[in-house]
Amino acid sequence: MGNLTQKIIGYDLWHLELPVTSRRDHGIGSVEGVCEVVVLRLKSEDGSEGFGEASPWSVFTGTPEATYAALDRYLRPLVVGARVGDRSAIMARAAYAVAHCTEAKAALETALLDLAGRISEVPVWSLLGGRCREAIPLSCSIANPDFAQDIDLLARLQADGVRIVKLKTGFKDHAFDIMRLEYLAQNHPEISVRVDYNQGLSVEEAPAQVRDVAQFAPDFIEQPVRAHQFSMMSRLRRMIDVPLLADESVFGPEDMERAAREGICDGVSVKIMKSGGLARGQTVARIAAAHGLTAYGGDMFEAGLAHLAGTHMIAATPEITLGCEFYQASYFLKEDILENPFQVSDGQVVVPDGPGLGNRPDVNKLEHYAVAKAVAA
Ligand SMILES: [Mg+2]
């Protein structure tokens, strides 16, 4: 066991713009050209390093600029000079050092876990309670406004053994959504289909459209209306036989408690970028399970480093039973930032065994894609 009482002496940041292969449309907005992430590197006195990624999306969680400022200005003083092993104390202070900025807190906790894991020579999942699974079924999103491109993607997914897709709906029109559901039912009956509106429907149109989509019996229908519209979520839930999932309505454990109390959902999308870290993500899943609700491992527009953090969290959280959607590193980014490819095998994300996150970013790629950085010489 390495020395966890040593101090953190290095704290470096990169704000990256990562080119993407296609356009993605969602009910709340689109991503085209690049996605933006912020990478944090911690160093300890013995020269060990730990990395974490923040993956903000301005219409969903927050902006890359706010994330970068939170890490650079407001969280840095809590970390530099602190002991590596004092992760819970650091995260407790971080919770109130800057409001919101959940992606920045997720990056910080990831880097602290990676650093402690590398020093102790154990995987991050072992620091989160131990492993309950070695592979996680992968869901890939169908979200291209040009459906012909997604038909090509479906062929690639089928060849790769991916058996779950999430159809992003509510960004164009209802007929487009129904046409794609019919296509999937007729041409890919082997694929398990989930539907996600990303808040795309108004309260006026939601009841009729959600009822139509439920006729296709998807695994679940996710977040048809705005995050704060809890009463409409619970009304829609009662109206259909298909499970209704909450995503944007539930960020952290506090939201999960309220969502369960008000009966707005049958399950929840757990994302470390929403919950503000891996431990809080585990708490969201456990509250859901205590109320008899399901959970799956969602993500934002992430690179492989954030996928790894989510993978370790799900690997240590038996309550997250519906798989994950860590597809961007393999199917969306032109180039990922990891040294070794993010591991997906036969449609399942492989849980790494090595110390820390079990993989790390290539610093040359961080330098190449950086639009801002704060790196010690
Ligand atoms: Mg969602």
- What pLDDT does residue 368 have? 98
Q: Do 259 and 232 touch, CB atoms closer than 8 A?
A: no
Task: Report the percent of the chain where pLDDT is more than 90.
Answer: 97
- Expressed in angstroms and rounded, the spacing between residue 268 Cα and the centre of ligand 1 is 9
Q: How far apart are CA 332 and CA 6, in angstroms?
A: 39
Q: Residues 6 or more apart from 360 whose CB is under 8 A from it?
A: 49, 51, 114, 305, 338, 339
- Expressed in angstroms and rounded, the spacing between residue 74 Cα and the centre of ligand 1 is 29
For the chain, the three-class secondary structure string (H helix, E strand, C coil) is CCCCCCEEEEEEEEEEEEEECCCEEECCEEECCEEEEEEEEEEECCCCEEEEEECCCCCCCCCHHHHHHHHHHHHHHHHCCCECCCHHHHHHHHHHHCCCCHHHHHHHHHHHHHHHHHHHCCEHHHHCCCCCCCEEEEEEEECCCCHHHHHHHHHHHHHHCCCEEEEECCCCCHHHHHHHHHHHHHHCCCCEEEEECCCCCCCCCHHHHHHHHHCCCCCCEECCCCCCCHHHHHHHHHHCCCCEEECCCCCCHHHHHHHHHHCCCCEEEECHHHHCCHHHHHHHHHHHHHCCCEEEECCCCCCHHHHHHHHHHHHCCCCCCCCECCCHHHHCECCCCECCCCCEECCEEECCCCCECCCCECHHHHHHHEEEEECCC
> Rounded to a whole number, what is the largest CA-CA distance in the chain?
61
Q: If you average pLDDT over every residue of the chain, what do you get?
A: 97
Q: Per residue in 105-119, pLDDT tens?
A: 999 999 999 999 999
Q: Per residue in 253-275, pLDDT tens?
A: 999 999 999 999 999 999 999 99
- Expressed in angstroms and rounded, the spacing between residue 298 Cα and the centre of ligand 1 is 7
- Expressed in angstroms and rounded, the spacing between residue 316 Cα and the centre of ligand 1 is 22
- Expressed in angstroms and rounded, the spacing between residue 194 Cα and the centre of ligand 1 is 10
What number is the average pLDDT over the span 2-18?
96
Tokens representing residue 30 in the block: 């689109």
- Expressed in angstroms and rounded, the spacing between residue 153 Cα and the centre of ligand 1 is 20
- Expressed in angstroms and rounded, the spacing between residue 221 Cα and the centre of ligand 1 is 10
Q: Per residue in 138-195, pLDDT tens?
A: 999 999 999 999 999 999 999 999 999 999 999 999 999 999 999 999 999 999 999 9
**Residue 1 pLDDT exceeds 70:** no
- What pLDDT does residue 251 have? 98
- Expressed in angstroms and rounded, the spacing between residue 344 Cα and the centre of ligand 1 is 21
- Expressed in angstroms and rounded, the spacing between residue 220 Cα and the centre of ligand 1 is 11
pTM (global) more than 0.95:
yes
- Expressed in angstroms and rounded, the spacing between residue 252 Cα and the centre of ligand 1 is 15
Please give the domain boundaries of the chain with CATH numbers for all domains: 8-121+362-374 (3.30.390.10), 127-350 (3.20.20.120)
- What pLDDT does residue 28 have? 87
Q: Per residue in 217-254, pLDDT tens?
A: 999 999 999 999 999 999 999 999 999 999 999 999 99
Q: Per residue in 301-351, pLDDT tens?
A: 999 999 999 999 999 999 999 999 999 999 999 999 999 999 999 999 999
